Every structure is written in C-alpha cells, then in structure tokens.
Amino acid sequence: MTPKIVTLEEKNLVGFSTEMSLLDNKTPELWKAFRQRSKEITNRSSDDFISLQVYPLDYFQEFSPVKKYIKWACVEVEDFDAVPEEMNSLVLKGGLYAVFSYKGTAQNAQAFFQYIYGEWIPRSNYNLDDRPHFEVLGAKYKNNDPDSEEEAWIPIKAK
C-alpha cells in the first residue's frame, strides 16, 4: 500500500463538529445530522464530503481509545459568506499529505489505519505533522458497503 505524496492547498470547510473518542464514537449521529442539512450549503466547491479529525498534540504518542479529539462532517466551500445557521467553518491549512486509497467498510478500517500509523510512517521518510487528518468521501463512497472507496489524507513532514 503506497500512498501518493501531495501538497494540499488551503481549503475552506463548512459543517458540523463534535468532540468524541474512539470509545465514545459519535460519528453516525454527526453524519446523520450533517447530511440532513448539507443541502443548505449553497457555495460548495466540490461534490465530495469530508470526514475530518483534529487530534491533540500527544494523541499518537500515548494512544488511548478514551482520548478525545474533534470530528468534523463537512464540505469544501468557495468562501464563508453563506455559512448556514448552527454550522461551523474551518480553514484547513495547506501542506504535505500522504494520500492512501481505502476500499471497504468503516468496521474494517482499523487494520488499514494501524498499518499507516504503525508501519508506513515509521518506515517512511516522514513524521506525522500537527494538522488535521481527513477522509475524502467522493463519488465511489457507499456507506457500510464493502465496495465503498475513499481517500485517507494523513498530514506529514520530512524527518
């Protein structure tokens, strides 16, 4: 599993966010609420949906399933001129990312991410960078379908 190394341009995102942990996973509720209102966003710059995580600095150094992080259900927008009521905005800073393709269900993604963080990063010429991690849920994404495809964007910097 070899990623593409990509320099991402800054992006404007709009959506819902909530604090959670792996043990207190609120992802289904977050996405249900966002999907119900996503049509209110009138200035989208892409048809893709983005599932984004903002981790604390020490999240990967001392991993624990009870550690909290911020999860976003969002889309990319041209600007923040028309943010729907109760939605939040986020500027995703640009930078270097390792982009991995994933095919399968969310339930089977644990081994995929364990490989990235436990094997690929330590063996690569990169360290994790302190920027959001995200998945792009494009045209081939099908929730809970084994044929679903998405991209995992992991922020990196040279060792």
Residue 147: exposure state from Cβ atoms within 10 A (0-12, 13-18, ≥19): exposed
Are the CB atoms for 151 and 109 separated by under 8 Å? Answer: no
**pLDDT of res. 100:** 97
CB-CB neighbours of 79 under 10 Å: 11
User: Residue 72: CA atoms inside 13 Å, Cβ hemisphere, count?
Assistant: 25
Choose between 62 and 49: higher pLDDT: 49
The model's confidence at residue 136, banded by pLDDT at 50, 70 and 90, is very high
All domains of the chain in start order, with CATH: 4-158 (3.20.80.10)
Predicted confidence (pLDDT) at residue 77 exceeds the cutoff of 90:
yes
Please, what is the average pLDDT of the chain? 94
What is this structure's pTM?
0.94
